[in-house]
Structures are given as C-alpha cells and as structure tokens.
Amino acid sequence: MTTVIPLPAPVLLPVAHSDQTFPVRRVYCVGRNYAAHAIEMGHDPSREPPFFFQKNPDNLVPQGAEFPYPPLSSDVHHEVELVVVLKKGCSAIDVSDALDCVYGYAVGIDFTRRDLQAQAKTAGKPWEAAKAFEHSAPVSTIVPAQVIGHPANGNIWLKVNNDLKQQGDLNQMIWKVPEIIAELSKLFRLDAGDVIMTGTPSGVGAVSRGDEVSCGIDGVATLTLTVI
Ligand code: MN
C-alpha cells in the first residue's frame, strides 16, 4: 500500500551526548503551574486541578537557534518551562508509577501570542491561535533520566539580551511532575513519544525581533535563540 500524499516528516528531538533522537507523538502543556505566575496573570494560585492545552508536535523546534516572530500578534511572550518526555504511558497512571514513564527532560519555551490569548479568554474561545503556532516551542536536547535522575528542584531561568527576566525553582511547581502525569492520564491515554511542558515561573514578558533569548534549568540543559 502507498500513501496518497507523502508521509509527514516525523518530529525528532536530539538526545544529548548521543546520535539518537526522541520521536514525538503529542505535546501537552500545563497552565498556571507556579503560584507567582498565576498571580502575575491575575489568577488565584490555590491548588485547583491542573488544566491542560496542546501544541502541535511540529511546533517543536529542536535546539531552536532562531524564533521567527509570528504573524497577527504584537505581544509575543516567553515562558520558560521544564519539558518532560515519556518512554511509555497508559490511562489512569498512579502517581507512584508516573516517573517510570519518563524517558528524560529538557528545557523549552512556550511562546505565547498573549494578545490573542487575552482575546480568547475574554470571548471564551479556544487557545490554539495563541499557543499552537509555527515554531512556538523551541526545545533543548533531551537529557535521559538515566543520566540526571528526576529533577524536583533546581533553578529555572530565562534572560533576554542577558537581562534576567524569569527565575524560579522547580520545587515551586504547584503540581509536581508525577502528579501532572497522573492527572493528564485521567483525561488522555498517554504513550511513548508524548511531550509535556510543565508551566512557567513568574516574569513572563514580550520579545522583539533581534532579541537574544537564553534559558536553562540547572542540572538539565540550556537553550539559546534569536528572535528574527
Ligand atoms: Mn506555558
């Protein structure tokens, strides 16, 4: 059997210190997972159930060296996040089993057309136009959990033109990685290849063409790109 159109290219994320890649199936993102960021966006940081949205697998940009400023927005924000990638999954995963599903970690940016997101929130409309656009998710190389373990704390930061804009600690996450996996698996059947962006600390802000953006998570990875 042949396909009637060419098969789409698989989305492959490089694995650090390796010639192997991690193939992507789905991309999930967690909203408002650091209290200080929930407050800066005008929300109550109490421990409500986490909520999720998605990006498209091909929105991921491996080691994205350039971020093309997207159309139809004049307020594109950076959100630095811990990225979790799964080597297996199923439905209804117990918190105590969740870390067994994790292949590794990365640092990534959940770029957001904040003006379109604000319009969508006001109108009760979906977020895809604000979140799931081309090149919206640059990601570092993947670091296997076999190498670094499962980071539950550590500095997470982002600089624009060498000015520190975002800084937090992974231990400030309202919902921790095992809880995120467990909650997500109540809603969706998770599987190998799934990528989860786990929310951003406070300090989100706009980028402009020409900006140099660098970010990292101590003990995990760093990522640098230029807004073009
Ligand atoms: Mn985010």
Alpha-carbon distance values, 63 to 31, 155, 188, 214 (Å): 23, 20, 28, 11
Tell me how far apart the alpha carbons of residues 112 and 106 are, in angstroms, rounded to a whole number: 19
How far, in Å, from the CA of 39 to the mean position of ligand 1? Answer: 14
How far, in Å, from the CA of 163 to the mean position of ligand 1? Answer: 20
How far, in Å, from the CA of 148 to the mean position of ligand 1? Answer: 23
How far, in Å, from the CA of 119 to the mean position of ligand 1? Answer: 17
Tell me how far apart the alpha carbons of residues 27 and 56 are, in angstroms, rounded to a whole number: 6
Average pLDDT, the chain: 96
DSSP 8-state code for residue 99: G
Q: What is the chain's length? A: 228
How far, in Å, from the CA of 3 to the mean position of ligand 1? Answer: 36
How far, in Å, from the CA of 51 to the mean position of ligand 1? Answer: 11
Is residue 93 within 8 A of residue 189, CB to CB? The reply is no
Domains in the chain and their CATH numbers?
Answer: 12-226 (3.90.850.10)
Residue 96's pLDDT band (cuts 50, 70, 90) = very high
How far, in Å, from the CA of 144 to the mean position of ligand 1? Answer: 22
Tens of pLDDT, residues 78-88:
999 999 999 99
How far, in Å, from the CA of 110 to the mean position of ligand 1? Answer: 5
User: Looking at residue 45, what is its pLDDT?
Assistant: 78
Tens of pLDDT, residues 102-141:
999 999 999 999 999 999 999 999 999 999 999 999 999 9
How far, in Å, from the CA of 162 to the mean position of ligand 1? Answer: 21
How far, in Å, from the CA of 154 to the mean position of ligand 1? Answer: 18
Tens of pLDDT, residues 155-195:
999 999 999 999 999 999 999 999 999 999 999 999 999 99
Mean pLDDT of 197-209: 97
Q: Strand (E) positions, the chain?
A: 12-14, 21-23, 27-30, 52-55, 60-62, 66-67, 76-78, 80-86, 102-109, 112-113, 137-139, 143-144, 155-160, 163-169, 195-197, 205-206, 212-217, 221-227
Q: What is the pTM of this model?
A: 0.97
Q: Name residues whose C-beta falls within 8 Å of residue 135's C-beta, 6 or more positions apart in sequence.
A: 59, 61, 64, 67, 68, 70, 111
How far, in Å, from the CA of 84 to the mean position of ligand 1? Answer: 13
Neighbours of 182 (CB within 10 A): 20
Tell me how far apart the alpha carbons of residues 136 and 227 are, in angstroms, rounded to a whole number: 11
Residue 94 burial (CB < 10 Å; 0-12/13-18/19+)?
Answer: exposed
Phi, psi of 173 (to 5 degrees): -65, 130
